[in-house]
């Protein structure tokens, strides 16, 4: 029943929304732009920070296998994203796909869930960016006072407390700069992202290339350390726990699908952008983790900057790489913030176009052709969170939100194949329904491996979202209002 909670948009409806003059967002992004956007989102905090943490605490040298497991989960979901984005080239990513397959309520849940991934993710990475910038400036004798480069709020085993700092200004600064760029236009943002991605990939390749000569094979012995008796601490359970940790490193590749409405040829370019960026990033992650654990014993890698530690361990002959690595990290984290804020603004834009969020969120600037109000609101929210909270508090919510979106997208492909088998598809997920079902199960297994308090926060977040849906969104849904008008005419 159309007035029910599971009213759906058909694929033909969604396709008409972006045909011809009805597409307010300009089509400027090529397949190359999309691949680089994906790399820009993925190559960041994971490769520069989490590799060492996962190796030291969970998987040892086998962290490279953890990256393969996490990459495999993303590949399964990515194949489903590729089919959706090639047949429904509309801004909104998993939110839009959910609307087409499982109805309005599920679409709202996904859209609200994506806030966790993109908004909290952008705030998390900007705090990491702040740490690298402060360290880089310290190398040149420029010392920023702690009161303006640390989070004023923190938490430990005893609870929440105030640190005495005023604000994390560098984190707020990078959010403000990137929000301005996104407001000025997708072409300018994509150009900046392309430049930044090239810089950080060159830096990573330099580390791999020069690091190969300093690998000590003994550091890989044993490659899979014996389990300590505690689940998730080395052994095969440690590899799986490591996969859950480094999964954060892959967060963002799905942001490519939020730009479907701005792709020049979405049926061809979107699958290339999603799967191409995922393949490149997985290869780089595995290569870096092998070199890293080959240079430095895994027990020493639980540090904020493990790659810099490896450069120091290699000796003075490669010490010139240390500042370049930090520049690469700063560049890498910048592009991650850019793509995550871009993805969040497009999800809000799509939800507003459907009437589920306030209509001002779907206004497009007449000159820049960007959803400027949404972009500014999202940037402000991210800036506030980044300025006040530490990276640990912000980061805990991100992975579970992404995994939930992946599960729903995988299930959505199975439903859409059954409901609309004849719909035009530029790309088809292979071996359906096996691949989508396996993708949903793998992502669900990784969700289950996350701690209970993360689940509790997710439940609370979703409860807040449902309150908004039933008090505002349901009453203003354009699909629902249109159906009621037709029913009134018919009667």
Q: Is residue 13 part of a domain?
A: no
> Which stretches of 140-250 are DSSP H helices?
169-184, 186-211, 235-246
Q: Is 489 exposed, middle or buried (0-12, 13-18, 19+ CB in 10 A)?
A: exposed
pLDDT band of residue 28 (cuts 50, 70, 90) is: low
Highest mean pLDDT among 150-159, 290-299, 350-359: 290-299
Nearest to 13 by CA among 25, 3, 26, 22: 22
Q: Is residue 18 part of a domain?
A: no
Q: Does 184 have pLDDT greater than 70?
A: yes
Domain encompassing residue 169: 26-490
DSSP state for residue 251 in the 8-state scheme: T
Q: Does residue 37 lie in a domain region?
A: yes
The count of structural domains within the chain is 1
**What angle separates helix 186-211 from helix 266-295, to the nearest 10 degrees?**
30
Q: Is residue 3 part of a domain?
A: no
Reported as a single tens digit per residue, the pLDDT across 333-366 is: 887 888 788 878 878 888 888 888 888 888 887 8
373 in a structural domain: yes
* 0.85 exceeded by pTM: no
Give me the CATH number covering residue 303.
1.20.1740.10
Rounded Cα distance between 335 and 426, Å, is 28
For the stretch 101-135, pLDDT in tens is 788 888 898 888 887 778 888 888 888 788 778 87
Q: What percent of the chain has pLDDT over 70?
A: 84
Residue 1 lies in a domain: no
Q: Report if residue 9 sits inside a domain.
A: no
Which residue, 337, 443, 325, 288, is CA-closest to 37?
A: 337
Q: How far is CA 437 from CA 114, 181, 419, 444, in A?
A: 21, 39, 16, 11
For residue 2, what pLDDT is reported?
Answer: 45
Residue 34 lies in a domain: yes
pLDDT tens sequence across 411-424: 989 988 888 887 77
Question: Distances in Å between the alpha carbon of 213 and those of 200, 217, 424?
Answer: 21, 11, 51
Q: What's the confidence (pLDDT) of residue 262?
A: 67
């Amino acid at each position: 029943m159309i007035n029910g909670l599971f009213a759906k948009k058909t694929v033909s409806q969604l396709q008409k929304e972006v045909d011809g003059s009805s597409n307010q967002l300009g089509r400027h992004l090529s397949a190359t732009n999309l691949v680089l956007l994906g790399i820009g989102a993925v190559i960041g905090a994971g490769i520069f920070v989490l590799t060492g943490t996962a190796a030291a605490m969970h998987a040892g040298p086998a962290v490279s296998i953890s990256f393969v497991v996490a990459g495999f989960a993303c590949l399964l979901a990515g194949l489903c994203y590729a089919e959706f984005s090639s047949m429904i080239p509309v801004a909104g990513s998993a939110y839009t796909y959910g609307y087409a397959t499982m109805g309005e309520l599920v679409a709202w849940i996904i859209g609200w869930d994506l806030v966790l991934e993109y908004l909290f993710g952008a705030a998390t990475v900007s705090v990491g960016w702040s740490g690298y910038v402060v360290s880089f400036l310290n190398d040149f004798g420029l010392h920023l006072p702690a009161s303006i480069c640390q989070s004023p709020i923190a938490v430990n085993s005893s609870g929440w407390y105030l640190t005495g700092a005023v604000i994390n200004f560098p984190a707020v600064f990078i959010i403000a700069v990137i929000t301005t760029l996104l407001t000025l236009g997708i072409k300018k943002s994509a150009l900046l992202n392309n430049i930044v991605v090239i810089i950080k990939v060159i830096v990573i390749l330099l580390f791999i290339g020069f690091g190969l000569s300093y690998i000590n094979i003994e550091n890989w012995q044993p490659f899979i350390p014996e389990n300590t008796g505690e689940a998730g601490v080395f052994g095969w359970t440690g590899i799986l726990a490591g996969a859950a940790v480094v999964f954060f490193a892959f967060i963002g590749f799905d942001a490519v699908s939020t730009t479907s409405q701005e792709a020049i040829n979405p049926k061809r370019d979107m699958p290339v952008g999603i799967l191409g960026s995922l393949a490149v990033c997985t290869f780089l992650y595995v290569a870096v983790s092998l070199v890293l654990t080959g240079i430095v014993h895994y027990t020493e890698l639980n540090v904020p900057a493990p790659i810099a530690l490896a450069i120091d361990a290699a000796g003075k002959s490669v010490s010139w790489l240390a500042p370049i690595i930090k520049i690469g990290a700063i560049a890498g984290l910048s592009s991650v913030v850019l793509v995550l804020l871009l993805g969040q603004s497009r999800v809000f834009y799509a939800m507003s176009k459907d009437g589920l969020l306030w209509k001002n969120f779907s206004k497009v600037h007449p000159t820049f052709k960007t959803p400027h109000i949404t972009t500014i609101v999202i940037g402000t929210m991210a800036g506030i969170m980044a300025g006040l909270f530490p990276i640990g508090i912000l980061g805990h919510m991100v992975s579970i939100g992404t995994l939930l979106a992946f599960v729903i997208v995988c299930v959505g492909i199975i439903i859409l194949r059954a409901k609309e088998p004849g719909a035009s598809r530029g790309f088809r997920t292979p071996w359906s329904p096996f691949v989508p079902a396996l993708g949903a199960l793998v992502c669900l297994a990784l969700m289950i491996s996350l701690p209970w308090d993360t689940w509790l926060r997710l439940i609370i977040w979703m409860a807040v979202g449902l309150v908004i849906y039933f008090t505002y969104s349901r009453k203003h849904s354009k699909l629902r209002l249109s159906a009621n008008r037709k029913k009134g005419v018919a009667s």
